[in-house]
Amino acid sequence: MHWADVAAKALSHKGDKHIVSTGITPSGEFHIGHLREILTGDMIARAARKAGLDVEFVFIVDTADPLRKVYDFLGPEFEQFIGHQLGSIPAPDKDGNPDWVRFEKEGWTYGDHFLKPFLQALEQIGVRPRIIDNLESYKAGRFDQLTKRACDRADEIREAIERISSRELADDWFPWSPLDSKGSLDGVKVTGYEYPLVHWLDSHGVEGSSDISKGEGKLPWRIDWPAKWGWIGVTCEPFGKDHGAAGGSYATGREIVQILGHEAPHPLTYEWISLKGQGAMSSSAGNTVGPIEALELVPPEILRLLVAKSKPNKAIEFDTGMSLVTLADEYERLAARDFNSELADEDLTRRQRVQIEDAAGAMRMAVLEEGTTAEATAVTFRHLALLAQTKSTDQDVWSSLQKAGAISEPNQSLVDRLNRMRAWIASKHFPEEMKISILSHPNDAALQQLDQDDRPVVAALAQSLAACNWDAETIGSAIPQAAKDLGLTPKSGYRAAYAALMGKERGPRLAPILAEMRQNEIVSLLNQCALSLE
């Protein structure tokens, strides 16, 4: 069974109706790492629906959380908002300063600024959860009764947190963080409580009262999370390994939610997505690739497959270079397979059957529209990258594919894929080893690096390629043969070809590249190079 089906089966033992939840604090730009949580939740919900369960998928945006610090992407003016809730302060403008104009005219907040692009990415990637704004939920009174219960049973909750987390809370700790006279959650001391008011003294020497029923503050994180499980009715939630660690927030939340009168959801702990060679992604550190940025490079199905094919407890290393090419080509191979036919083979070993079922499940989760089947395009990413670099127009790309019998007419999926491929080639992420740069005129410096024995091969190549059939197989044979005819090794043929055509010692496979270019232009370049060597 696919890992999402395993989770769905576990939920089926607990009832027919479920709410799968994920959430995030919009403190900075969202990145590919954030997609793992929300895609994990989306895939569990899909699997549960396939199993016949009544499932809703929700995404909680923690806009009630405070701004922790002035991040590197923010200007010094944001110092005044440290401790203020993300849903109540201005968004940063292009220079990182508070955008007061949009805030006052449109109510455009810090949380909106980082959330809206992420929601656009989710739409593209086929994820459409019900969005729950945490700050709005507090103000609407949805936390009211659970907060009252937490404040009434503060000693029990304190004991649970200290016992499970093995840390001692401050003497003046209280299960409600009031907003102070300036709108900050920091530096506020609770001085008394009688529902619905929590009385406080802030760091400015101002006394006041916070009305729980109106959301004039928030619950501390370790109580906020189980409270959300309670009023939303969450029955399943994936979360990062930090929350799932011994003594972590899930361990305390599981006990606190019972004090609040509810049950903890079925957990699923996932590992991080890291950038290859750079470690775990971090919005505040700027070590990110954003979902919108990634979707400009590859189809959304590829990003879904990245998460779907890896068990949640397995770390994922995201690479916008060759690993992404390999993943995209894997998607095409999997899309071309008939899993039902494969599974009908009675001679399969248990291991073979599990591998096929896992692959089938991953592709079921990779498609954008639930219940549809992936369609192979018969065009690998590698070949499309080659065509996008050697053909000046889209029509030339389609003509080449039609001539090769790969397509009859390009469908919208292939058109979108070519557009993304061109964006990828133009970006900083395109892998160096796939870049194609056939020269327009001789590179004298590169030609002079050739050994005296190898130099005659250039003229021989011009003659050989002028006379051969212009296809990858024939060209691939002609290059080493031109050297052999001169009593040299095939390596001499390739050295001469790369020096003359690309101006370097080595590069990507030449034959498929040359086959997509005009024969007369390549032969003319070789002749020019031969003349310059005389």
Per-residue pLDDT tens digits for 408-464: 999 888 999 999 999 999 988 888 888 888 999 999 999 999 999 999 999 999 999
Kindly state whether residues 90 and 14 are assigned to the same domain. yes
In a domain, 187, yes or no: yes
Domain count, the chain: 4
Tell me what pLDDT residue 418 has: 94
Between helix 350-366 and helix 300-308 the angle, nearest 10°, is 140
3-state DSSP of 381-410: HHHHHHHHHHCCCHHHHHHHHHHCCCCCCC
Tell me what pLDDT residue 445 has: 94
High-pLDDT (> 70) share of the chain, %: 98
The CA distances from residue 432 to 22, 173, 435, 437, 497, in Å, are 37, 55, 5, 11, 19
Say yes or no to pLDDT of 54 above 80.
yes
pLDDT (mean) for 355-383:
92
3-state DSSP of 254-274: HHHHHHCCCCCCEEEEECCEE
In a domain, 71, yes or no: yes
pTM flag (> 0.85): yes
Tell me what pLDDT residue 285 has: 54
Say yes or no to pLDDT of 60 above 90.
yes
Kindly state whether residues 392 and 479 are assigned to the same domain. no
Say yes or no to pLDDT of 301 above 60.
yes
Kindly state whether residues 98 and 14 are assigned to the same domain. yes
Q: How confident is the model at residue 370 (pLDDT cuts 50, 70, 90)?
A: very high
The CA distances from residue 289 to 30, 309, 368, in Å, are 9, 20, 21
State the Cα–Cα distance between residues 312 and 266, nearest whole angstrom: 14
Kindly state whether residues 226 and 138 are assigned to the same domain. yes
Tell me what pLDDT residue 508 has: 85
Say yes or no to pLDDT of 254 above 60.
yes
Residue 451, domain extent? 444-533
In a domain, 33, yes or no: yes
Kindly state whether residues 124 and 18 are assigned to the same domain. yes
In a domain, 477, yes or no: yes
Tell me what pLDDT residue 277 has: 63
Tell me what pLDDT residue 376 has: 83
State the Cα–Cα distance between residues 272 and 174, nearest whole angstrom: 32
In a domain, 367, yes or no: no
Kindly state whether residues 14 and 129 are assigned to the same domain. yes
Q: Are strands 273-275 and 279-280 parallel, antiparallel or unpaired?
A: antiparallel
In a domain, 346, yes or no: no
Give me 30's structure tokens: 């969202």
Going 387 to 391 to 393 to 399, the CA torsion angle's sign is negative
pLDDT (mean) for 7-22:
97
State the Cα–Cα distance between residues 455 and 524, nearest whole angstrom: 17
Kindly state whether residues 265 and 391 are assigned to the same domain. no
Kindly state whether residues 465 and 428 are assigned to the same domain. no
| Cis check: omega of the bond before 410, within 30 degrees of 0 | no
Kindly state whether residues 214 and 224 are assigned to the same domain. no
> How distant is the alpha carbon of residue 275 from its chain centre?
10
**Average model confidence (pLDDT) for the chain?**
93
The three-class DSSP label of residue 111 is helix
Kindly state whether residues 430 and 449 are assigned to the same domain. no
Kindly state whether residues 84 and 185 are assigned to the same domain. no
DSSP lists the bridge partners of residue 267 as 237
In a domain, 300, yes or no: no
Kindly state whether residues 22 and 85 are assigned to the same domain. yes
Q: Are strands 316-318 and 273-275 parallel, antiparallel or unpaired?
A: parallel
In a domain, 527, yes or no: yes
